[in-house]
């Protein structure tokens, strides 16, 4: 298929996204608008200067700007509006299901209550379900540069809102913050019924992926691209059918790979791993979900069938119940059968 046709195909095919941080969908214009409304001082004097600062050397240099951005989110309406803007984008590119991360600790530390964050996000998600027919689930991430004690306190705070949260995740500075630091809090979260996932093997070594599997009992690994450095790890991921939520544009923007053409996605697929495509922090990394698919399609010369497999995987690897999974996969297949009409 020529690129134009493929662009339309990718945009229209029903898709799921399993790795997107809601705070990472905050567009610079919205950030400035909220900063003014809430009288929060930003380090950058204009939208253009801020956008120019989106040149990251590594994960840490991104996180510094990302956390600065989150400072403008104060009221329930701010969280609602942030989420609603993401939902409108999803609607346009037919992302019919998403499992969305949020970082409560980056708000709690600024005295924004848990209740404000979760109510703003989940009210928007409920409206998205009703008005746009978009399905969503929420995953609460612990910030790994903070202590396990802080994660444990956050876990306790989440309990009254447990029905709104499907799982727990682990994000922020990976190097020197191994998954094993969070063994107890994950164990406790699992005992409460949360489904565990964790960022591992983005910048960190394959050992971190092993720990995420063995100590945190994760059901998916977020990123995980460094698994190819360890053959026995690849075998274990395949044996346990553990999906990887790969984020191509993010990986390039954070210097994990020099370009999309040098991304190891094809090797991951060819190794027999269970791979999905995701956007991570789309407002910062130059594209939402369709741009990630189209980017790798072009740069790695993927086939239309590769794209269809990755899209099916996005539903198979989700935390949807079997009936919802099946009905969404039927939508995917009927779109594929219909072709471009
Ligand atoms: N928080 C937001 N995006 C992240 C990423 N790509 N890695 C770790 N923590 C994050
Ligand atoms: Zn992420």
The protein residue whose alpha carbon is closest to atom 10 in ligand 1 is 172
Between CA 43 and CA 92 the distance in angstroms is: 32
- Number of C-alpha atoms within 13 angstroms, CB side, residue 155? 26
In this structure, what DSSP letter does residue 201 have? Answer: S
Q: Which residues have a Cβ under 8 Å from the Cβ of 33 and sit 6 or more positions away?
A: none
**Residue among 319, 315, 228, 214 at smallest CA distance from 271:** 228
Q: Which atom of ligand 1 is nearest to the CA of 247?
A: 6
Taking the centre of ligand 1 as the mean of its atom positions, its distance from the CA of residue 323, in whole angstroms, is: 31
Taking every pair of Cα atoms in the chain, the longest distance, rounded to a whole number of angstroms, is: 55
pLDDT of residue 341: 46
Between CA 190 and CA 208 the distance in angstroms is: 19
Q: Exposed e or buried b for every residue in 83-99, given b needs 16+ CB within 10 A?
A: bbbbbebbeebbbbbbb
Q: Which residues have a Cβ under 8 Å from the Cβ of 49 and sit 6 or more positions away?
A: none
pLDDT of residue 3: 83
Ligand 1 pocket check: which of 17, 20, 22, 59 to mutate, most ligand atoms within 8 Å of Cβ?
59
**pLDDT per residue as tens, the chain (341 positions):** 778 899 999 999 999 999 999 999 999 999 999 999 999 999 999 999 999 999 999 999 999 999 999 999 999 999 999 999 999 999 999 999 999 999 999 999 999 999 999 999 999 999 999 999 999 999 999 999 999 999 999 999 999 999 999 999 999 999 999 999 999 999 999 999 999 999 999 999 999 999 999 999 999 999 999 999 999 999 999 999 999 999 999 999 999 999 999 999 999 999 999 999 999 999 999 999 999 999 999 999 999 999 999 999 999 999 999 999 999 999 999 999 997 54
Q: Which atom of ligand 1 is nearest to the CA of 172?
A: 9
Predicted TM-score (pTM) of the model is 0.98
Q: Which atom of ligand 1 is nearest to the CA of 24?
A: 2
What is the H or E stretch that residue 200 is in? Answer: strand 195-200
Instruction: Just list the catalytic residues.
Output: 202
The CATH code for residues 3-336 is 3.20.20.140
* Ligand with smallest separation from the Cα of 284: 1
pLDDT of residue 2: 79
The pairing of beta strand 15-21 with beta strand 195-200? unpaired
Q: Is 153:143 a contact under the CB 8 Å cutoff? A: no
- Burial class of residue 303 in the structure, from the number of CB atoms within 10 Å of its CB (0-12 exposed, 13-18 middle, 19+ buried): exposed
Taking the centre of ligand 1 as the mean of its atom positions, its distance from the CA of residue 82, in whole angstroms, is: 18
Q: Is 228:254 a contact under the CB 8 Å cutoff? A: no
Taking the centre of ligand 1 as the mean of its atom positions, its distance from the CA of residue 1, in whole angstroms, is: 33
Taking the centre of ligand 2 as the mean of its atom positions, its distance from the CA of residue 156, in whole angstroms, is: 23
The protein residue whose alpha carbon is closest to atom 8 in ligand 1 is 172
Taking the centre of ligand 2 as the mean of its atom positions, its distance from the CA of residue 278, in whole angstroms, is: 9
Q: Is 170:144 a contact under the CB 8 Å cutoff? A: yes
Between CA 140 and CA 102 the distance in angstroms is: 5
Sequence ranges of the domains in the chain: 3-336
* Ligand with smallest separation from the Cα of 58: 1
Q: Is 219:193 a contact under the CB 8 Å cutoff? A: no
The protein residue whose alpha carbon is closest to atom 1 in ligand 1 is 172
- Cβ < 6 A, ligand 1 pocket: 21, 24, 59, 66, 171-172, 199, 202, 250, 280-281
Which residues, listed in sequence order, are joined to residue 97 by a DSSP beta bridge? 16, 135
Taking the centre of ligand 2 as the mean of its atom positions, its distance from the CA of residue 1, in whole angstroms, is: 31
Q: Is 254:62 a contact under the CB 8 Å cutoff? A: yes
Backbone φ/ψ region at 70: left (φ over 0), alpha (ψ -120 to 50), beta = alpha
């Amino acid at each position: 298929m020529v690129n134009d046709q493929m662009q339309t195909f990718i945009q229209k095919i029903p898709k799921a996204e399993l790795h997107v941080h809601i705070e990472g969908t905050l567009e610079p214009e919205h950030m400035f608008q909220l900063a003014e409304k809430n009288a929060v001082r930003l380090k950058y004097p204009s939208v253009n200067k801020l956008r120019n600062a989106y040149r990251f050397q590594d994960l840490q240099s991104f996180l510094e700007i990302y956390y600065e951005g989150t400072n403008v989110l104060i009221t329930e309406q701010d969280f609602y509006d942030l989420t609603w803007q993401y939902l409108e984008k999803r609607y346009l590119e037919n992302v019919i299901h998403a499992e969305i991360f949020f970082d409560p600790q980056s708000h709690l530390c600024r005295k924004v209550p848990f209740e404000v964050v979760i109510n703003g996000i989940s009210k928007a998600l409920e409206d998205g379900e009703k008005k746009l027919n978009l399905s969503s689930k929420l995953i609460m991430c612990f910030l790994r540069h903070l202590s396990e004690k802080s994660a444990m306190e956050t876990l306790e705070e989440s309990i009254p809102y447990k029905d709104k949260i499907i799982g727990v995740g682990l994000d922020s500075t990976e190097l020197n913050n191994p998954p094993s630091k969070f063994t107890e809090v994950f164990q406790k979260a699992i005992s409460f019924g949360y489904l565990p996932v964790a960022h591992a093997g983005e910048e960190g070594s394959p050992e971190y992926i092993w720990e995420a599997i063995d100590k945190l009992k994760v059901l998916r690994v977020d990123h995980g691209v460094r698994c190819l450095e360890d053959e026995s790890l690849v075998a274990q991921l395949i044996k346990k059918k553990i999906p990887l939520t790969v984020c191509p544009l993010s990986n390039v923007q954070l210097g994990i790979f020099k370009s999309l053409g040098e991304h190891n996605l094809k090797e991951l697929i060819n190794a027999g791993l269970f791979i999905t495509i995701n956007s991570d922090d789309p407002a910062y990394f130059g594209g939402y979900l369709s741009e990630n698919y189209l980017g790798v399609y072009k740069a790695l010369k993927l086939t239309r069938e590769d794209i269809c497999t990755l899209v099916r995987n996005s539903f198979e690897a989700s935390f949807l119940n079997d009936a919802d999974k099946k009905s969404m996969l039927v939508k995917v297949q009927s779109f594929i059968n219909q072709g471009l009409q």
